[in-house]
Amino acid sequence: MKSDRGFIVTKMWSSRIGILAILAGLLAACNTTPNNPDVVVVNPNTPAVTPTPVPTPPDTVVSPIPQQPVPESTTVIVTPTTPTSPTTTGVVIQEPITDVVVITTYPNKESLVNKRVLFTETKVLNVVGDRPFWVGRSNNERLAVVLDPALDKGSAEKKIVVRAGQTLDLAGVLQPMPSAETAQKQWGLSATEAQQLQSEVVYLQADKIDFK
């Protein structure tokens, strides 16, 4: 009878040891689960973390870019400038004209027609014919002069003889230069002499002459 009890007691202890071994194995397995990516360990004592909601930014209002007005194409018309005569630019010719350079340098000599001239001690440069001759400072600053027939009542060439190098006082009116054919007929010139005067726009028709 005692042997049976001892066997039973031994059996019970063996069962307890086996149960303890199983529990120990389970505990060991539980401790190693964190390394297992497929096992999630939930600690009931740890409060759950509620994710903080990310505030949604207010709607961005994009202001429309004002469109710049497209400039209208501008057409520029360039009008060539017409040279104006000195009479429209404020240049006033005083009468009588007393300097030959005023006449020779004037850009619009046609506007000088009928202007009164009074030269004192002007030099005769050369003589073209019986009536026409040149006066002035040089060949670049000279004026053609023609004696008015009224000076001698039609025979001035016989009474008044003008020679190169003389010094004269002259008075008269500026007149437009005639054509070579007209000058040849009116002043008794050769064709060559008449052609020499065509470089001038105006000439002085002298109605008064004094020799110095």
What is the per-residue pLDDT across 97-141, written as a single tens digit (0 to 9) for each? 999 999 999 999 999 999 999 999 999 999 998 889 999 999 999
CATH value at residue 134: 2.40.50.140
If asked whether residues 114 and 15 sit together in one domain, one would say no
- Written as tens digits, the pLDDT of the chain (212 aa) is 545 555 555 566 566 676 776 776 666 655 554 454 444 444 545 555 555 655 555 555 555 566 666 556 555 454 444 444 444 445 678 999 999 999 999 999 999 999 999 999 999 999 998 889 999 999 999 999 999 988 866 554 556 889 999 999 999 999 999 999 999 999 999 999 999 999 999 999 999 999 98
If asked whether residues 101 and 30 sit together in one domain, one would say no
The model carries a pTM of: 0.56
C-alpha span between 178 and 189 (Å, rounded): 13
- Counted domains in the chain: 2
Residue 58: count other Cβ atoms within 10 Å of its Cβ.
Answer: 6
Q: What is the pLDDT of residue 19?
A: 73
Q: Is 137 inside a domain boundary?
A: yes
If asked whether residues 106 and 205 sit together in one domain, one would say yes
If asked whether residues 25 and 110 sit together in one domain, one would say no
Please list, in sequence order, all residues whose beta carbon lies within 8 angstroms of the beta carbon of residue 151, skipping any fewer than 6 positions away: 159, 160, 206, 207, 208, 209
Q: Is 89 inside a domain boundary?
A: no
Q: What percent of the chain clears pLDDT 70, i.e. is strictly above it? A: 55
If asked whether residues 205 and 100 sit together in one domain, one would say yes
Domain limits at 176? 94-211
Q: Is 64 inside a domain boundary?
A: no
Q: Is 21 inside a domain boundary?
A: yes
Q: Is 81 inside a domain boundary?
A: no
